[in-house]
A and B are shown apart, each in its own frame.
Chain A
Amino acid sequence: MLPVGSIERRTNGWYGMLTVIMTEGALFAYLLFSYYYFAVQYGREWLPPQLPEFWFSVPNTILLLASSAALWFAERGVRRGIRRDLVWGLAIAIGLAVIYVVLQAIEWSGRPFTMSSTPYGSLYFSISGLHFVHLAIGLIILVVLLIWSLLNYFDARRYAAVSIGAVYWYFVTAVWLAVFFTIYITPRLG
């Protein structure tokens, strides 16, 4: 007996998403390389007079980690056939992500520099901006998954799309951790 169609993670889509993570991960690696290149070339003087602070970035980090946890809960729910867990987990993940978006927008609007002020500004906004684009696409994915869940497309054996969306979201969270470390922590390290 062979499984037929989209069963658990045996789909091509699952592997396809892993390749997406490989290539988009490489993109962020090159972005952060560019940041560090400037930092090495210019030293302390390339940083803005006021270093990026934790008021928004720490809550945002917590929000993303929490939304990933909610998503993990959702995926576990669908694997056990508990639709309620799936729907609520997705909804909470989406809600938390929306708060993240709002906080990020406020943080950006409060910046004294723009992307065309200095090289730092260019890199700050391109890194956080590209991360934001990836997150926004992830948010659309989560909303679509929620709709599909409400339409009863998924059950304990057919839930590949949920796994695929979830692993993308975990990737977005992991990238945020790397971005957070680079932009908010490294300037304060010696």
Chain B
Amino acid sequence: MSSIAYERSAALETAGYDSPATSKLEQLWKTKPGLFGWLGTVDHKQLGKRYLITAFCFLIAGGIEALVMRLQLARPNQHLLTPEQYNELFSMHGITMIFLYAQPVLSGFSVFLFPLFLGTRDLAFPRLNSFSYYVYLFAGLFLYASFLVGAVPNDGWFNYPPNALKLYNPGPNIDFYALGMILLGISTTVGAANFLVTWLRLRAPGMSINRLPILTWSTTTTSVGILFSVPAVSLAFLMLWLDRQFGTHFFDPAGRGQPLLWQHLFWMFAHPWVYIVVLPAMGFVSEALPIFCRRPLVGYTVVVLATVATMVMGFGVWLHHMFATGLPFLALSFFSGASMVIVIPSAVAVFAWVATIWTGRPVVTTALLFFAGFIAMFVIGGVSGFMTAAVPSDRQMTDTYFVVAHIHYVLIGINLFPVMGALYVWFPKMTGRLLDERIGRWNFWLVFIGLNVAFLPMHWTGLAGMPRRIYTYPDGLGWNTVNMLTTIGAFILAIGVLVLLINIAVSRARGALAGPNPWDGPTLEWTTPSPPPSYNFAVIPAVASQNPLWEGRLQEGLGHSSVGRGLVLDQGKEVLATTPLDAEPDAILKMPQDSLAPLVVAIALTGLFAGLLVAWWWLAGLCAVVTLASLVVWLWPEPALGQIAVAAND
């Protein structure tokens, strides 16, 4: 085996996408053929698309769950669903949307776009990327397998004990949830680690800390948030599972456990989580709204600071989910104040976007409509949240449909709207074809109208006192009309989503060809062909400003980025590592080939959790051994990756 020299001098070269150098790069980077390649690919673009497709499948599943619930609630005293069925549906609707759609869809965009934004050829850990996707898929299937045995999680996504303990919930419903979530947490965590290290290390030279595309700031900030928040919920679920299966006494009152401890641990995770599922989506808007206003984002620096501040402060407000549990006055005051102060960084972002529109030249495309609509929906969701920060008002509004209205404005308005807008912007980059603009208008208006018809009156439903999580309600409480409106709105929204899917299907086949830069955007991803080749960039670009492709035309005296001339790095699968602050070249790193190790470890890990679920301890033990052994194989030093000393093996 030939080993890799410790150092190399790398020269700058000029190369376009059709030069001889790139056919060598193509050979080096493209996915291996056949089943091996399909299962073992480490191409972040393929993995990103898989994430997106899987996330949209879960969006549809969660949406169907919602529509069935809305049929049940359209009128008082209906018997379409039994209480148990309704409770299972509302639980899975929440679990699916919050965990299997909202964060993974953002991951999917970042998995595809990060290297292209940063000017590199892959994420820091390509095999880990593949592993992260497989575990996400398997965890989602694990959770949905509960439908096959008729034991679906039924205590809400928040899953409070004692109702979640064995005494009140003897079946495996909650075990599916607990173990499935721990498994999913592994995927989320390694994905976050991947983004963080990529952002720190793999950039185009010159892409210093103040020149990074703002979307990468959002994703990286939330990645740090994930690393610090997910352990809280994984721990909580582990403790719950131990209480249920082994009679420990973390939460069970009979054994002097503390049910409120669950709430603390859960919300210490779940509050940061809500920022994790919206900050990257806000990043989409910060990234792409400027393109359609033909000017750089107003206040890049303060928006970055606001993003980081929101995530940090997000760790200090969790108690506002527990205002009605009988907490001391001082705690209530502090968390109420903190929950109001956290509005300020969001206001920074809102005014940055408004200013960008006002001082720019808006080009009204479907994407712009989604981003502009998003700003209004963001504010509605934001103010209803702000209202619940006031303890006395919250103690009327909490656990009513007011909060349901709030969460749907923030989740649909601040996650789904930017996601749809982002699809219109980057689908051309991913597939080479533009989404149809006319179908897009129908998509936007149906979704916009559906959202507002369904959820704007729902604020009233909540103020009229309708509690959450009830499978039916009596006549005569003033809730009938608004519930019918919400049901109608939900179906309009669903049709809007369907129109998007139709647009994707139609445009995939017959959409207008996009070319590298259909929107005349300013950042590096718009320099590659659409879709990008397996190696992304023919040469590693060097940047000298925030908006490399607009430099010359903005007349701001900015530097000269170099897009067609740079390091070729074709002595194998190679990327350039740079320093975190100033992005100076630091090393040439070798990237791994396609591999089945991630799939094997993912299967073994899922088998481990399946064994725990059905209490086949031998299976769990066996899978644990296989997991560890496969990890050792995966991490075994390889000469081609430059991991082995030169002298010994020549």
Interface residues of A (CB under 8 A from B): 1-7, 10-12, 15-16, 19-20, 22-24, 26-27, 29-31, 33-34, 37-38, 41-42, 115-116, 118-119, 121-123, 126, 137, 140, 144, 148, 152-155, 157-158, 160-161
Contacts and interface: CB of A to CB of B under 8 A. Distances in A.
B170 interface: no
B124 A15 contact: yes
B408 interface: no
Interface stretch (B64-72, B234-242, B597-605): B234-242
A119 B256 contact: yes
Given A30-B235, A158-B6, A2 B201 contact: no
A91 B235 CA distance: 33
B590 A23 contact: no
B387 interface: no
Contact of A1 (B7, B124, B238, B247): B7
Contacts of B577: 10, 12
A38 B259 CA distance: 11
Interface centre among A29, A122, A123, A137 (most CB of B within 10 A): A122
Contacts of B494: none
A4 B227 contact: no
Contacts of A10: 577, 586-587
10 contacts: A2-B586, A5-B588, A11-B589, A23-B230, A24-B231, A26-B228, A126-B238, A126-B239, A126-B248, A153-B644
Residue of B256, B264, B590 contacting most chain A CB atoms (<10 Å)? B256
Given A5-B642, A30-B235, A160-B643, A15 B200 contact: yes
A16 B197 contact: yes
A74 to B, nearest CB: 15
Q: Which 3 A-B pairs have the closest CB atoms?
A: A5-B642, A155-B645, A152-B648
B389 to A, nearest CB: 24
B588 A30 contact: no
Given A6-B643, A115-B248, A122-B249, A22 B227 contact: yes
B463 interface: no
Nearest to A136: B628
Contact of B4 (A5, A42, A126): A5
Interface size bucket, B side? 35 or more
A10 B586 CA distance: 8
Contacts of B643: 5-6, 153, 158, 160-161
Contacts of A16: 124-125, 128, 193, 197
Given A2-B585, A23-B189, A158 B242 contact: no
Given A12-B197, A34-B265, A158-B643, A119 B231 contact: no
Contact of B250 (A24, A34, A153): A34
B248 A4 contact: no
Contacts of B124: 12, 15-16
A38 B258 contact: yes
A144 B629 CA distance: 11
Interface in B480-530: none
Given A2-B7, A152-B648, A153-B648, A30 B227 contact: no
Interface of B: 4-10, 124-125, 128, 189, 192-193, 196-197, 200-202, 224, 227-232, 234-235, 238-239, 242, 246-250, 255-258, 261, 264-265, 268, 576-577, 585-590, 628, 632, 637, 641-649
B258 A2 contact: no
B7 to A, nearest CB: 5
Given A2-B10, A4-B587, A6-B643, A19 B197 contact: yes
Contact of B196 (A19, A34, A119, A122): A19
A164 B43 CA distance: 26
Nearest to B126: A12
Nearest to A118: B249
Given A16-B193, A30-B231, A4 B644 contact: no
B239 A7 contact: no
Given A15-B197, A16-B193, A140-B628, A4 B242 contact: no
Given A5-B588, A19-B193, A161-B637, A116 B247 contact: yes
Contacts of A11: 589
Nearest to B264: A37
Given A4-B588, A5-B6, A23-B189, 8 more contacts: A4-B4, A7-B6, A19-B196, A23-B227, A34-B235, A122-B248, A123-B250, A157-B645
Given A16-B124, A30-B265, A160-B643, A22 B228 contact: yes
Contacts of A144: 632
A157 B4 CA distance: 12
Given A30-B265, A116-B248, A152-B649, A122 B587 contact: no
Given A23-B230, A157-B6, A31 B235 contact: yes
A157 B642 CA distance: 11
A155 B646 contact: yes
Contacts of B197: 12, 15-16, 19
A26 B231 contact: yes
Contacts of B235: 27, 30-31, 34
A62 B231 CA distance: 29
A4 to B, nearest CB: 5
Nearest to B224: A22
B242 A3 contact: no
Given A116-B249, A122-B248, A41 B585 contact: no
A140 B635 CA distance: 13
Contacts of A119: 249-250, 255-258
A19 B231 CA distance: 13
A155 B128 CA distance: 26
B649 A30 contact: no
